[in-house]
Structure 1
Amino acid sequence: MTIREVAAAAGVSPKTVSNVVNEYVHVHPDTRRRVQDVIDALGYRPSAVGRQLRSGRTGMIALAVPTISAPYFADLARHVAAQARERGLVLAVEQTEGQLEREREVADGQPVRFADGLLLSALEMPDEELAAPHPDTPIVLIGEHGGSDLPVDRVGIDSAGVARLAVEHLVSSGRTRVAFLGDKAPVHNSARQRITGYRAALEDAGLPVDPALVPHCRDWSREDGREAAHALLEARPDVDAVFAANDELALGALAALREAGRSVPGDVAVVGVDDVGEAEFSWPALTTVAIDRAFVAERAVELLTSRLADPGLPPRHLQTPYRLVVRDSSLRQRAVTSRS
């Protein structure tokens, strides 16, 4: 069905049909109704490609994350896809592997050149590059980036605050030899902020920051958590708590503690970050700091679509709520503490 066939059936010009389809106001109400009735009767659907060419938009947005295999980013992508669908947008997902050059390529619009805008979770790009103008592809940052003066739309995560909340919980339950899993090289923004919050919480509690309680991790996977926890137990067998920078590391630590014959939480308490689906069903169930991924997705898509509608808006900065969900790996009694 073409626009000319609709025009012939309605007794109007193709231009009038186009005006009705595109909701131009200068169409007589009787003519608009007659044309719309023919459109409905014939099942005419406007060409999406034609509308995109006229608007200069593709109706696609992109999400770039370090890896889609990590439960946190997989769930974030699920929420972003739902938000895009609600707005009639198509989502493309790009995986950067946390590599600086690939993050730069994505920010420059190379792998996602057909996208109208980009949601970017960058691990390695410095703030000065993220703050550079990107006129062809508007960007909304997700995660831990720079200070409040960074002139880019952003849905931030206070990872130092996340770490403080976790360590404060461990210290309040009487733990005094609290380890940190997640110290890797090179240190990206998330790791840097979480170890900063870990150290600050120990200092506030009057506890020493012992380098032996901060083993090196190759990365943030379950395997890395298991390996780092074994190294930790060898260096500091008296450790009585572990704060892991994410749940995958924490789950690996739980496996290492079982293998070493340590009880959790009797001998060693464990807390992670993210509240991935597996956390509730691990043994013991994992205490974790939950980061509100639904909030991140909804607000990031809102910022991007409003930026596309009005490029002159000032930069907006939002902070993601997080909460401590206490399960058996740190306390037998369940509780929830929230912060925004």
Structure 2
Amino acid sequence: MRHRLKDVAERAGVSVKTVSNVVNGYLHVRPDTRARVEEAIAELNYRPNLSARHLRKGRTGVIALAVPELDIPYFAELARHVVTAAAEYGWTVLVDQQAGGRREQERVVAAGISDHLIDGLIFSPLALTAEDLASLDGTPMVLLGERVDHGPADRVVIDNVTAAREITDHLIRLGRRRIAAIGAQRTDEGASARLRLAGYTEALRAAGLAYDETLVASAAAWHRADGAAAMRGLLTTGVRPDAVFCFNDTLALGALRALHEAGLRVPEDVAVVGFDDIEDGRFSVPTLSTVAPDKEQIARLAVELLANRLDGDRAAPARALKAPYRLELRESTRS
């Protein structure tokens, strides 16, 4: 039998309105009254009818998270944090994959996926521009990443340039001078790649090291196989780096494999760093030094921004919030 607010009110000896105030977290309820209501809720195993609550507000209680690829562990880990943060608002999260950065498919997502299906969207686009988003009039949205650096939607970002500069500077401080970079992308969709390449270049310049195009390997995708192929390509052309900055951890895991196959020791012969701090990197051999974005904070900030849009002024100027990161220095850069 599913108990109702009325049942809880009768058990606690208070009004239905008082129970509603406790359930909704209103602060003006007296502590002794709140304690009686919470005890009654526990005794009856009462669970709020979230569907009814959302319907009263004209909502579905469903938001969407759209990411480029779930095959990349960073996005899978981020999705888990978004689901956790959204649950605090009673929201269900629909996860959508936008593989390949197809502009028209991203436009469908940005427009709200389907009428009346979702209340809001957290979106990491690859192909859409600020002009594309400005032409849409619909679902409240929060963007992740740097693809749209100015536009009509709230954004959560990290400082990719500074983070890339710091992890490259870590390699320089170790005495490494021929530092390769894996993951460069020249396409419009490669916003993160361009920023990380810029940070890498800035660190070299600050240390008085020349930028060497032969040490920079492109990767159309950022999977393990792409990292391994790029590393093999550098080695077979005669390039012999003493360190490698891979633009994400899956590229770095592939590079580690290629270095092992070539009989090179990490970090003794070649130090390796990545970006994202995925769980796999904590269990690789050697464990992977990396830039660790605060994925939990990214998710929480995105959900909070979306909640503010849904409950507040949807016409207010867009905000850009910056999430923190740290360097995780592990075995791949220290003997």
Provide TM-score, normalisation by structure 1.
0.81
| Aligned residue number for residue 153 of structure 1 | 154
Cα shift readout 1:126-178 (whole Å, capped 9, x = no counterpart):
23323x1654210101112444x544211112211221111111111111111
- The one of 72, 75, 80 equivalent to 2:74 is 72
> 2:86–2:92: 8 Å Cα contact kept in structure 1?
yes
Rounded Cα–Cα distance in structure 2 between residues aligned with 1:162 and 1:127 = 25
Tell me how far 1:199 sits from its aligned partner: 1.4
Contact 1:59 1:115 in 2 (8 A): yes
- For 1:211, which of 198, 210, 213 is the aligned residue? 213
- Aligned position for 1:183: 184
Within the candidate set 117, 122, 134, 1:114 is matched to 117
The separation in 2 between residues aligned to 1:75 and 1:330, in whole angstroms, is: 24
Query: What percent of counterpart residues are identical?
Result: 47
SS at match of 2:164: helix
**Shift, 1:111, TM fit:** 5.0
Bigger Rg, which one: 1
- Give the SS at the match of 1:181: strand
Distance 1:176 1:162 in 2: 19
| AA partner of residue 80 (structure 1) | V
If the length of structure 2 is used for normalisation, what is the TM-score?
0.82
Instruction: Say if 1:112 and 1:191 are closer, same or farther in 2 by CA, change over 3 A.
Output: farther
**CA displacement at 1:320 relative to structure 2:** 1.3
Where in structure 2 are there 5+ consecutive unaligned residues?
A: 22-36
| Cα distance, 1:316 vs structure 2 | 1.8
Deviation of 1:20 (Å): 9.1
**Per-residue deviation, 1:50:** 5.1
Aligned to 2:299: 297
Q: CA deviation at 1:272?
A: 0.2
1:104 and 2:103 matched: no
Match of 2:328 among 288, 311, 325: 325
**Which residue of 2 is the match for residue 272 of structure 1?**
274
CA distance in structure 1 between the aligned counterparts of 2:275 and 2:247, rounded to whole angstroms: 6
- Classify the secondary structure of the residue corresponding to 1:136: coil
Once residues 238 and 67 of structure 1 are traced to their aligned partners in structure 2, the CA distance between those partners, rounded to angstroms, is 32
Matched position secondary structure for 2:332: coil
Q: State the shift of 1:54 in Å.
A: 3.5
What's the Cα RMSD here?
Answer: 2.9
Q: Displaced runs of 4+ in structure 1, greater than 3 A?
A: 17-23, 39-54
* Pair 58,204 (structure 1): closer, same or farther in 2 beyond 3 Å: same
**SS of alignment partner, residue 197 of structure 1:** helix
Q: Name the SS for the 2:333 alignment partner.
A: coil
Q: Quick one: which amino acid aligns to residue 323 of structure 1?
A: R
2:27 corresponds in structure 1 to none
Cα separation, partners in 2 of 1:212 and 1:113, compared to 1, 3 Å: farther
**Contact (CA 8 Å) 2:290, 2:327: kept in 1 or not?**
yes
Tell me, in whole angstroms, the C-alpha distance in 1 between the residues paired with 2:112 and 2:207: 46
SS of the counterpart of 1:329? helix
- CA distances 1:43-99 after superposition (whole Å, capped 9, x unpaired): 998876555444211111111001112110011000010011121111111100132
Q: Which residue of 1 aligns with 2:169?
A: 168
- Between the aligned partners of 1:252 and 1:119, the Cα distance in structure 2 is 30
Structure 1 residues 150 and 218: CA distance shift in structure 2, 3 A: closer
Other-structure match for 1:307: 309
Matched to 1:126, the amino acid is T
AA aligned opposite 2:155: R
